[in-house]
Chain A
């Protein structure tokens, strides 16, 4: 299906995309996740043909799309601000793409009806788009993008302009609609929760290239470097220096820590970052290995457990752990980490 290779683009003389490559398979919803300003939207515009890449290639079924103008690419694109045509009503907006295919009026009417049914807005056809609420506009924009049966759909922060409660329900709905339509999709967002809710596969875009790609849970279990772990807020990140490779030992402000790593073992003397997940802290006072001791600064009840903030020392003023039972402020606590639970990560960018 779609394959994107080595896309390069500069913006204001700064490199924005530095060789981005990925592909989208049949029936797959790929989520392009990245902080704002990482070039996600630009990438979509390049795929749509609204902008020219400075290097690299966009291919569909192995045929290059270079030189194919936007209106002949048969992709759907849903804009962040929806870009509904203010001079057309709801039905006319949805019919636009069908009209461009010069379909007979009867068929257009039928398909617009169906589209309105899909988004649960039958009876809205004659309404002005300027009078719709944010959520309604979002649905109309989705229906408009889907109506002409695009061979791929791209969505640029489609929920970005909506409030939180609405986002949760709409992202569910969106997942069902995308799944039912069986159209491959690229979904751009900076919101991880949204990305986890929608994506079959996640691409993390950072500093102009794809930093990591995979199923959503893989980012949790195996973040490829410290930046990814920080971006997803996986836990306490403590810097240190490798003092032994087998077994892997790292000298940190917490003391000497036994850790594990997923790929290549770092070299002796290398600066690395260790990930301590709050949920993996154990209260086993008999063990002396990987002991973390600190004073309780604060605790917040989070449904099933308590999130407790510890003060360890000057270098590590804040260390979060999850505990099943409440503790008292000011108490001194000791917890342990198993070596397999402490992940040694590249410092990254």
Chain B
């Protein structure tokens, strides 16, 4: 017995041994819940089954969604750059009233669930949205004049909404960090302002612009909720096609092949992104004299500034404001309601959330979806924090293991939630996990989606704890556990909180994997919103918007808290 303990202790004291122990649980978790489903996808795709063979496949069925995905992603990315780059220029060079507000605003899309964004655009431009209803009542029309839902432009606009802020943030950060002296040097050497821009400023911005482009392309490529909810059935990206094939046509082999195709593409894009974002580090030297924003001067400058700001405002604020406002206003008749309709402010949609109506979509009051989402999010937080901390500590010991484990760990980042959901269905839809009986699969999937983000938050914080602090505590008489409690934990608290909020918002808003794994009697908020918003009747629509508003507020509060925490951490408070 003592011999076993001694061996154990020797193991834990050796860096390789400790690394192995720390990697063990994350590796088992990832192996069982990520790589097993992935392998299952591969074998299902390659193994001929009755009525399906990879070799007899009509390649049009792959090519069509693939080419459409590439096409829409390219177009969305271009549009995003067209709007985002002038925005980045504006944020770099100018001070204007409300700049802080705009800055905060640009963090929102990072964390807003796709269902909320889709609902927002629905409330803004959809058939029952503000613009259409206003036009109908103004001109006494019989049908909504603006056809927004189920159009290609709806997909593009939503993607631009999502990703403009990525371009804005990444590029304007790099831009304002540029050494102003380089531009001055170019001018002294005889470069006109335009040539200074093309010869000095732009080449230096290139890595940032490329990195942003890859990132935006990746997000557009893997976008699911927006395409499904705003584009409708005729626009099938790879993601939507996987979803349709798997859940509606029950063609799991084809769905698997599509998943693999998708996975390969995202891997390639991620690799490209890593290469160009590595470039940026090489070039940037500490700025001796950064660019300080100034007030706009000439009339032309003011006009340009106003136009860009107005465009950003409409793009970013209008859908979210429409969503929140529409959830408090009654404008059309409830189903079955006749005669005069009472229009005006109402809390009806929120009150109805707690009512279990007969003929409702679920057999539980919709508010239960919020409770479920919250419960699942709590489990997700527990899982990701445990795994994230273990991975973080494992990465501290630089051994050969890390070289193997790091890519293994980051691969789930490239896999889409849809792929994950599909893999889960294939592998676990049998005892003891069967989704029909065991809702734990949902938070596990969420944890896999969130884990790469959490590791990226925790690892730098862990690295920042100087080993001499721990040694000092040990010399002063603290046991190893005590050292962790007295030194590590207090120093990690902000990062742990940030990670928890990340996990919370990711889990609460996750839609792709949830569509596969959710149980009808345990709906989550995004799934409930998706079901309600496409139903006829003012009540269903209003309830969908009310739930979206709740979700939006949760996420907004989350990102606000994260910003506060990051700020206080930076200030050393």
Q: Using a CB–CB distance below 8 Å, which chain A residues touch chain B?
A: 45, 48-50, 69-77, 79-81, 83, 85-87, 96-97, 99-101, 130, 144-145, 148
How far is A101 from B206 in the complex, measured between Cα atoms in Å? Answer: 25
**Given A83-B182, A96-B199 in contact, is the A70-B283 Cβ separation under 8 Å?**
no
Among B182, B185, B203, max chain A CB count under 10 A is at B185
- Distance in Å: Cβ of A33 to nearest Cβ of chain B: 22
Among B181, B191, B192, B206, max chain A CB count under 10 A is at B181
| Contact, CB under 8 Å: A71 / B190 | yes
How far is A86 from B200 in the complex, measured between Cα atoms in Å? Answer: 9
| Contact, CB under 8 Å: A100 / B195 | yes
| Contact, CB under 8 Å: A81 / B288 | yes
| Contact, CB under 8 Å: A96 / B189 | yes
**In chain B between 191 and 216, which residues have their CB closer than 8 angstroms to a CB of chain A?**
191-193, 195-196, 199-200, 203-204, 206
| Contact, CB under 8 Å: B285 / A86 | yes
**Given A100-B191, A101-B190, A148-B190 in contact, is the A130-B185 Cβ separation under 8 Å?**
no
Q: B179 to chain A: which residues have CB within 8 Å? A: 81, 83
Determine whether B282 belongs to the interface, using a CB cutoff of 8 Å to chain A: yes
How far is A19 from B191 in the complex, measured between Cα atoms in Å? Answer: 30
**Given A83-B181, A130-B285 in contact, is the A97-B189 Cβ separation under 8 Å?**
yes
| Contact, CB under 8 Å: B282 / A70 | no
| Contact, CB under 8 Å: A77 / B192 | no
Q: Which residue of A lies closest to B283 (CB)?
A: A86
Determine whether B482 belongs to the interface, using a CB cutoff of 8 Å to chain A: no
How far is A75 from B184 in the complex, measured between Cα atoms in Å? Answer: 12
How far is A55 from B561 in the complex, measured between Cα atoms in Å? Answer: 50
Determine whether B378 belongs to the interface, using a CB cutoff of 8 Å to chain A: no
- Distance in Å: Cβ of B553 to nearest Cβ of chain A: 43
How far is A69 from B204 in the complex, measured between Cα atoms in Å? Answer: 23
Determine whether B136 belongs to the interface, using a CB cutoff of 8 Å to chain A: no
Q: A148 to chain B: which residues have CB within 8 Å? A: 189-190
How far is A73 from B184 in the complex, measured between Cα atoms in Å? Answer: 13
* Known A45-B184, A71-B192, A97-B190; further 15 A-B contacts with Cβ < 8 A: A48-B188, A69-B187, A69-B193, A70-B184, A71-B186, A71-B190, A71-B191, A77-B185, A81-B179, A83-B182, A85-B203, A86-B182, A87-B204, A130-B283, A145-B188
| Contact, CB under 8 Å: A79 / B181 | yes
**Given A81-B288, A87-B283 in contact, is the A100-B190 Cβ separation under 8 Å?**
yes
Q: B186 to chain A: which residues have CB within 8 Å? A: 71, 85, 96, 100
What are the 10 tightest A-B residue pairs by CB atom distance, in nearest-first order?
A97-B189, A100-B190, A83-B181, A83-B185, A70-B187, A77-B188, A87-B203, A81-B288, A71-B187, A100-B191
Q: A69 to chain B: which residues have CB within 8 Å? A: 187, 192-193
How far is A100 from B179 in the complex, measured between Cα atoms in Å? Answer: 20
Q: B181 to chain A: which residues have CB within 8 Å? A: 79, 81, 83
A-B contact pairs, 12 of them (CB 8 A): A45-B184, A49-B187, A69-B192, A69-B193, A71-B192, A73-B188, A79-B181, A80-B288, A83-B288, A86-B204, A86-B285, A87-B204
Q: Which residue of A lies closest to B200 (CB)?
A: A85
How far is A177 from B116 in the complex, measured between Cα atoms in Å? Answer: 67
- Distance in Å: Cβ of B177 to nearest Cβ of chain A: 13
| Contact, CB under 8 Å: A70 / B199 | no
- Distance in Å: Cβ of A78 to nearest Cβ of chain B: 9
Among A49, A83, A96, max chain B CB count under 10 A is at A83
Q: B283 to chain A: which residues have CB within 8 Å? A: 86-87, 130
How far is A101 from B283 in the complex, measured between Cα atoms in Å? Answer: 26
**Given A74-B190, A100-B189 in contact, is the A83-B184 Cβ separation under 8 Å?**
yes
| Contact, CB under 8 Å: B285 / A76 | no
**In chain B between 152 and 205, which residues have their CB closer than 8 angstroms to a CB of chain A?**
179, 181-182, 184-193, 195-196, 199-200, 203-204
**Given A87-B203, A96-B199, A130-B285 in contact, is the A79-B190 Cβ separation under 8 Å?**
no
How far is A83 from B206 in the complex, measured between Cα atoms in Å? Answer: 18
Q: Please pick, from B182, B188, B195, B199, the residue contacting A76 in the complex, using a CB distance under 8 A.
A: B188
**Given A86-B283, A130-B282 in contact, is the A50-B187 Cβ separation under 8 Å?**
yes
Q: A85 to chain B: which residues have CB within 8 Å? A: 182, 185-186, 200, 203
| Contact, CB under 8 Å: A70 / B285 | no
How far is A49 from B190 in the complex, measured between Cα atoms in Å? Answer: 12
How far is A145 from B282 in the complex, measured between Cα atoms in Å? Answer: 25
Among B189, B200, B204, B283, max chain A CB count under 10 A is at B189
Q: Which residue of B lies closest to A95 (CB)?
A: B189
- Write out, one digit per residue, whether chain B residues 390-405 have a CB within 8 A of any chain A CB (1) or not (0): 0000000000000000
Q: B184 to chain A: which residues have CB within 8 Å? A: 45, 48, 50, 70, 77, 79, 83
- Distance in Å: Cβ of B300 to nearest Cβ of chain A: 18
Q: Which residue of A lies closest to B187 (CB)?
A: A70
Q: A72 to chain B: which residues have CB within 8 Å? A: 190
Q: A75 to chain B: which residues have CB within 8 Å? A: 188
Q: B288 to chain A: which residues have CB within 8 Å? A: 80-81, 83
Q: A130 to chain B: which residues have CB within 8 Å? A: 282-283, 285
| Contact, CB under 8 Å: A79 / B185 | yes
How far is A48 from B184 in the complex, measured between Cα atoms in Å? Answer: 9
How far is A73 from B192 in the complex, measured between Cα atoms in Å? Answer: 11
Q: A49 to chain B: which residues have CB within 8 Å? A: 187
How far is A80 from B190 in the complex, measured between Cα atoms in Å? Answer: 19
Q: Which residue of A lies closest to B285 (CB)?
A: A86
Q: B195 to chain A: which residues have CB within 8 Å? A: 71, 100
- Distance in Å: Cβ of B536 to nearest Cβ of chain A: 58
- Distance in Å: Cβ of A11 to nearest Cβ of chain B: 13
How far is A174 from B204 in the complex, measured between Cα atoms in Å? Answer: 30
- Distance in Å: Cβ of A214 to nearest Cβ of chain B: 29
- Distance in Å: Cβ of B516 to nearest Cβ of chain A: 46
Q: Which residue of A lies closest to B202 (CB)?
A: A87
How far is A145 from B184 in the complex, measured between Cα atoms in Å? Answer: 12
Q: Which residue of B lies closest to A51 (CB)?
A: B184
How far is A320 from B181 in the complex, measured between Cα atoms in Å? Answer: 45
Q: Which residue of B lies closest to A147 (CB)?
A: B189
| Contact, CB under 8 Å: B188 / A50 | yes
- Distance in Å: Cβ of A331 to nearest Cβ of chain B: 52
- Distance in Å: Cβ of B185 to nearest Cβ of chain A: 4
How far is A209 from B187 in the complex, measured between Cα atoms in Å? Answer: 27
How far is A85 from B203 in the complex, measured between Cα atoms in Å? Answer: 10
Among B182, B184, B190, B193, max chain A CB count under 10 A is at B190
- Distance in Å: Cβ of B189 to nearest Cβ of chain A: 4
**In chain B between 258 and 287, which residues have their CB closer than 8 angstroms to a CB of chain A?**
282-285
How far is A291 from B200 in the complex, measured between Cα atoms in Å? Answer: 66
| Contact, CB under 8 Å: A144 / B203 | no
Q: A83 to chain B: which residues have CB within 8 Å? A: 179, 181-182, 184-185, 288
Q: A79 to chain B: which residues have CB within 8 Å? A: 181, 184-185
- Distance in Å: Cβ of A233 to nearest Cβ of chain B: 30
- Distance in Å: Cβ of B80 to nearest Cβ of chain A: 25
How far is A101 from B192 in the complex, measured between Cα atoms in Å? Answer: 11
- Distance in Å: Cβ of B278 to nearest Cβ of chain A: 15
Q: B282 to chain A: which residues have CB within 8 Å? A: 130
Q: A96 to chain B: which residues have CB within 8 Å? A: 186, 189, 191, 199
Q: B206 to chain A: which residues have CB within 8 Å? A: 87
How far is A130 from B187 in the complex, measured between Cα atoms in Å? Answer: 21
How far is A72 from B195 in the complex, measured between Cα atoms in Å? Answer: 13
How far is A101 from B195 in the complex, measured between Cα atoms in Å? Answer: 12
Q: A80 to chain B: which residues have CB within 8 Å? A: 288
How far is A79 from B288 in the complex, measured between Cα atoms in Å? Answer: 11
- Distance in Å: Cβ of B468 to nearest Cβ of chain A: 31
How far is A216 from B288 in the complex, measured between Cα atoms in Å? Answer: 32
